Amino acid sequence: MNLRSLSVFVTYSQVAVFQASLENPFNFWTSSHVDQGFAWRAGSASFQTIEEGGTHAIDVVVDADAAEISSEATRVIEVPFEVPDDGAVLIGSISEEVSISIRPGSYALRFEYIPSKDGSDPTIRLVFIPSGEAKFQIVRVDSKLRPPDQLVVTADPAI
């Protein structure tokens, strides 16, 4: 299991994971996307944070076949994610992006949101689990999410 810790300044309540080569990598959010806490299209996954902005600690876990979900996570969402052949992935928000390299392939990308406590920054765990059959699912719902019966699994690029 590989672990990398980052610090990213989040704006507009979103953190995104996307293929570095993707043109217009951020997603346009509809009200349904906001209700479910994520907006997804091939090569780009955007997740809604609980705090609107500020520094967030981000832990990236790769090759975690059996990584347990943090008991402190109040919001957990999982989506499919394809890492391109060059392995180049960016993680960030509108104001800041950080580049990482991951072994190419198909993954289930799990977003875990751990609220701040004792004045610390909120923590986001991004867990890349090798998978040929990743699903869209909201694993843990907090009080601010209102997921629809049928998840919206397509988004348009934000231009």
CATH for 11:
2.60.34.30
Distance CA 123, CA 115 (A): 6
Evaluate whether residue 21 is within a structural domain. Answer: yes
Evaluate whether residue 17 is within a structural domain. Answer: yes
- Tell me the two tokens of residue 142: 């907090």
Evaluate whether residue 157 is within a structural domain. Answer: no
pLDDT value at residue 83: 97
Least Cα distance to 75 among 145, 153, 150 occurs for: 145
* Residues contacting residue 66 through CB under 8 Å, at least 6 positions apart: none
pLDDT value at residue 66: 61
Evaluate whether residue 145 is within a structural domain. Answer: no
Evaluate whether residue 149 is within a structural domain. Answer: no
Least Cα distance to 55 among 101, 112, 128, 119 occurs for: 119
Evaluate whether residue 126 is within a structural domain. Answer: yes
pLDDT value at residue 52: 87
Segment-wise mean pLDDT, segments of 10 residues, the chain, 159 residues: 82 95 96 97 97 92 81 96 97 92 95 90 94 90 94 95
Average pLDDT score, the chain: 93
Distance CA 38, CA 110 (A): 11
Evaluate whether residue 151 is within a structural domain. Answer: no
Number of domains in the chain: 1
Residue 125 DSSP label: E
Evaluate whether residue 154 is within a structural domain. Answer: no
Q: Tens digits of per-residue pLDDT, 9-39? A: 999 999 999 999 999 999 999 999 999 999 9
- What ranges in the chain are assigned the alpha helix state H? 31-36
pLDDT value at residue 55: 93
pLDDT value at residue 127: 95
Q: Which domain holds residue 133?
A: 2-140
pLDDT value at residue 1: 57
